[in-house]
Structures are given as structure tokens and as C-alpha cells.
Amino acid sequence: MYPATRAFNTLSTWDLWGNFIRYIGAGAVAAGGILSLIKSLPLIAKTFSKAMKGFGHKGEAAVRTERSIPLPVSLIGAVIAAMLLWLMPGVPISLLAALIIIVFGFFFATVSARMVGLVGSSNNPVSGMAIATLLIAAILLKATGNIGVTGMTTAICIGTVICIVAAMAGDTSQDLKTGYIVGATPIYQQYGELIGTVASGLAIAGVLNLLNAAWAYGSQELPAPQAVLMKMVVEVVMGGNLPWGLVFAGVFIAIVVEIVGVPVLPFALGLYLPIHLSIPIMAGGLIRLWVEKRKFKSETRRKEVMDNGVLYSSGTIAGEGIVGILLAVCTVFGVDMSLGGILGNWGGLAFFAGLIAVMLAFIFGGKRNKE
């Protein structure tokens, strides 16, 4: 069955995911992102309208806690950044693409900043915005004759920039909101954000090249599911040779899931991600559910335990990223750090069980609050 080139009974679990399940998941994620964006449209329109009413009305603030980078400077800086992307050699962004980035970036940054500032980061529909941008950018590029690998690469670059714009707008809004609470000076926070953006951009570029050199994107060691999803979304518009039956099966699954009232985007992401990524996420969810169902002497103790769990989980995410970089360095230099041949699957399962045990000990351990 297309796109597989061998019979079903000869395919491994990884081959089944790569040839069939990921296309179903990609269709579900694309549909889920669009459905989530459609549901958010009334709030997005209302948010953008309110933001535009106060746009540019504020003059030079006399109060220290209201001093920000002047609005004209911010707008000019955004235009210069888009033009640099157009003029920079090696970046496949045309003048049309730069204009699309300016328009979509202005709209989505305004919406994301206000939605996160008023409600919280969980209300920021970044996935829907990124997928919508990819679809619209690919349609515009195809209509103007920008097709093939160059057109698809340009569309992905546009979607990537807009995704980062929306995410950083929400993050900056949270930072400024927190700074307001503690009495910080916004303009100094904004300078810090700019420095952090440049520094992290340079660091991330190096890390991405390192990972590609170590394992290559799209491999079993580095599946890069989000990047592959963006590629498939663009190929759908550009008329790539995709298994459309599987893609539309995912679309209709997402619609049914939405009708029955299940949150469609988390479901679609779980369908799309490889099983070895989904299982640990489910394990973490079950641990949290078990902890929430336990009885505690007080709500203060319950909050303390839950905060400990979030703290430990956040630490493991950061630690995994650091270890991944170290393993990539070892791979590039030819140092074999793999223990799979020695421990096997059972050894890995034992280590995972040990990790859960240590996590539970951290969650329930430490100094107990006596309230």
C-alpha cells in the first residue's frame, strides 16, 4: 500500500509510523490547528480591535515604570529585520515573502501579546497561527509561480519566522506583565529581550547544525516531527506526491474528535508523534493524575507537591536538552555512548522506572509545610 514499498508483514513499527501513521497524524494536526484558530477567531478579532484602538495613543511616559522603546523605533526595526531576511544571501526569502512576514508578523504579534497578557500563555494559538501562515504563504507563492523546492523552502521560512514572532510576542508580554508587578522599567526589559534574542539565535543555529551533523534530521535518532509536519503541510498546497487518502483520513478523524468534544489539537499531536515520544508524555500525565487524586492534609501541602512535580519535570526537560547536545558532540567526534546493545529494552525500561521513582521521591520529599 502506497507509500510503503514492502508488504505489511515485513514492516517494523517505525516503518508503519513513517509510511502511514504520520500522514494520518499530519492531516489531523493541520485540521486541528485550523479548527483551533477558527474557534479563536472571535477572540482574536476582539483582541486586535482593542489593541488597535490604543495603538500609538500613548506619548512619552513620564513615569519610570511606563517607559518603553518608542513605537516608531520598534516598527522601523521590524521592517529592517524583514528586509535583511530578503537581502541576506543564503536565505530563500523574496520581497513578496518579506512583505508577507511584515503583515502576518504585525497581526499575530499584536494578537499573541494581548491574548497572553490578558489570559495567559495557554491561550496563545501558536500552532494554529503557524499552520494558517504556512497554508496562506504556500498558496500565495504558488499563485505567483514560486513552486518546487525553492517555493516550499520559502513558505517554510515564512511560517518559521511567524511562528517565532507569535511565540516571542506572547513570552515578552508575560515578561513585561511580570516586570510591571515587581516594578521593573519596561525599556530595560525590552533591551534585555533584544540581547537575549540575538544571543539565543546564534546559539540555537550552532546547536541545530551540530544535531544535523550528528544524526541528520528525519532519521530515527532525530525524527524532527514538527519540521516534517511543516514540510508535509507545504507539500499539500504545492501539490506534492502525498498519500492523500491517509491525509484526509486524519482530517476527518480530527473533525470527528472535535464533534465529540475532545480537545482536537492535543489528540492530533498524540496521533502524529512517534510512539516513543507519546508514551513518556502519557506516563507523566498518569503520574500527575495519581498525585492529584491523593488526599492531602491541606491545600497548601497539595500545592507544594504539585509545584515540586512541575519543578522536577521542568528540570528533566532542560537536562535532557543538555545531555542531547553532549551526545551529539560525542557522535560527531566518533565516541560511541550508546548503551542499547548492553542494556537492551529491558535495561532502558528499568532506568525509566528508576527515573519515575526518583521523581516521586522528590515530589513528596523535602521539608513539609506544616499548614
Residues 6+ apart with CB under 8 A from 170: 112, 113, 115, 116, 121, 124, 126
- Quick one: 92 and 150 in the same domain? yes
- Quick one: 311 and 168 in the same domain? no
pTM: 0.76
Domain assignment present for 153: yes
Q: Of 238, 259, 294, which marks where a domain is finished? A: 238
Residue 339: pLDDT band (50, 70, 90) is low
Mean pLDDT of the residues in the chain:
84
Please report, for residues 27, 75, 143, 218, 310, the alpha-carbon distance to residue 235 in angstroms, rounded to integers and kept in the order given: 12, 33, 15, 16, 38
Q: Kindly state the DSSP code that residue 221 receives in the 8-state scheme.
A: S
Q: Which has more confidence, 264 or 125?
A: 264
Closest CA to 118 of 50, 56, 63, 168: 50
- Quick one: 179 and 61 in the same domain? yes
Cis peptide before 225 (omega within 30 of 0): no
- Quick one: 224 and 290 in the same domain? no
- Quick one: 137 and 18 in the same domain? yes
Domain assignment present for 244: no
Residue 371: pLDDT band (50, 70, 90) is very low
**Which amino acid belongs to residue 349?**
L
Q: Of 188, 218, 238, which marks where a domain is finished? A: 238
Domain assignment present for 86: yes
Q: Of 222, 238, 254, which marks where a domain is finished? A: 238
Residue 192: pLDDT band (50, 70, 90) is very high
Domain assignment present for 257: no
What would the grid cell of residue 331 be?
A: 557522535
d(CA 277, CA 288): 18
Q: Tell me how many domains the chain contains.
A: 2
- Quick one: 20 and 124 in the same domain? yes
- Quick one: 196 and 340 in the same domain? no
Question: End-to-end alpha-carbon separation of the chain, Å?
Answer: 62
Q: What is the pLDDT of residues 208-249, one digit of tens each?
A: 999 999 888 888 788 888 788 888 888 878 876 778 889 899
- Quick one: 198 and 343 in the same domain? no
**Which amino acid belongs to residue 87?**
L
Phi, psi of 270 (to 5 degrees): -65, -35
Q: Which domain holds residue 174?
A: 13-238
pLDDT at 195: 94
What is the sign of the dihedral through the CA atoms of 317, 320, 325 and 328?
negative
Domain assignment present for 294: yes
pLDDT at 260: 93
- Quick one: 112 and 218 in the same domain? yes
- Quick one: 227 and 108 in the same domain? yes
